[in-house]
Amino acid sequence: MTDLAINLVASALAAVAAWMVQRAVSYRRLARMRGFFGLRAGAPSLLIAGRHWSSPKVSSVHRNDMGAIVELGAIVKECGARADLVPAAEAPKELGKVTEFCIGGPESNPRTSAHLAALMPGVRVTTFEEADETVPIFVGTQRYDRLPHEEAHVLLARALPTAHPVFLLVGQTALSNLAAARYLAGHHRELQRKYGDSDPFCLVLKIRQPGAYGADLVELVADGTEAAFDGSTPLPALPRPRREWWAIGRRP
């Protein structure tokens, strides 16, 4: 009888110890995640979405950008914080008060344009009006073109103007914005191990065969952090777009 009691007590103690270890591991994982995203329990954050290019409504959002918002909202929820969705036209006139996720390129999201000019001088993201359907992205001297139906690129960046970071997902298409959100959700632990909580980064991702695979086939093309945040290297001149008469007015 005594042996049975001792075994029961030992089993109970082992179960409690295992539960405490698991809880401690979960707490450390959550603390690291909150540190990487600059979030804390109950804190607000902003999801600033670009306008759908074909809609006259300032609050209209492309369905793939909505998919990106869902992915980012899940990150915020896991951190125990609050996500406030704001159209780009209604973005607050302040910076660094809360963690911010900015989705879309300068053509659809003027907030992105402001962030790139102020925080990432080594980056130029062209618009359809400036270029053509290749809508090249420049990071320093490197140029990344979109090949319609074959591949598209997206910048995934974290800028740190204050203790609250700004995450930018700047793609050549809305589908590439979604791919960047999924990449961030799936690789934030790896990114934290490399960049910690206080270093900026700018990654160039490529989405291959989007017509066949959607946002699922994504690869890391380059780490453009140094060139993106330095800005000392002059950006290449943008050639005049060449378009046929039937392409005028169309969007990628």
Tens of pLDDT, residues 133-188 = 899 999 999 999 999 989 999 999 999 988 899 999 999 999 999 999 999 999 99
CATH H superfamily, domain 2-247: Chitobiase/beta-hexosaminidase domain 2-like (3.30.379.10)
pLDDT tier, 248 (very low <50, low <70, confident <90, very high otherwise): very low
**pLDDT score at 1:** 59
Cα–Cα distance measured from residue 210 to residue 11, given in angstroms and rounded to the nearest whole number: 53
**pLDDT score at 249:** 44
Say what percent of the chain tops pLDDT 90: 64
**pLDDT score at 250:** 45
pLDDT tier, 131 (very low <50, low <70, confident <90, very high otherwise): confident
Q: Which residue in this structure is represented by tokens 């001149």?
A: 237
Over residues 11-28, the mean pLDDT reads 54
CA angle 143, 149, 155 (to 5 degrees): 40
Over residues 202-231, the mean pLDDT reads 94
pLDDT tier, 234 (very low <50, low <70, confident <90, very high otherwise): confident
Over residues 209-219, the mean pLDDT reads 92
**pLDDT score at 252:** 47
Q: Which residue in this structure is represented by tokens 């270029």?
A: 131
Q: For the chain, what is the mean pLDDT?
A: 86
**pLDDT score at 228:** 96
**pLDDT score at 159:** 97
Could you read off the pLDDT of 24-74 as tens digits, one per residue? 446 688 999 999 999 999 999 999 998 887 776 777 889 999 999 999 999
**pLDDT score at 7:** 55
Cα–Cα distance measured from residue 219 to residue 221, given in angstroms and rounded to the nearest whole number: 6
Q: In Å, how far are 64, 83, 146 from 209, measured between CA atoms? A: 16, 32, 11
**pLDDT score at 22:** 53
**pLDDT score at 48:** 95
- Say if CB 137 and CB 79 are below 8 A apart: no
Q: Which residue in this structure is represented by tokens 């270093």?
A: 199
**pLDDT score at 247:** 45
Say what percent of the chain tops pLDDT 70: 81
| 19, pLDDT greater than 70 | no
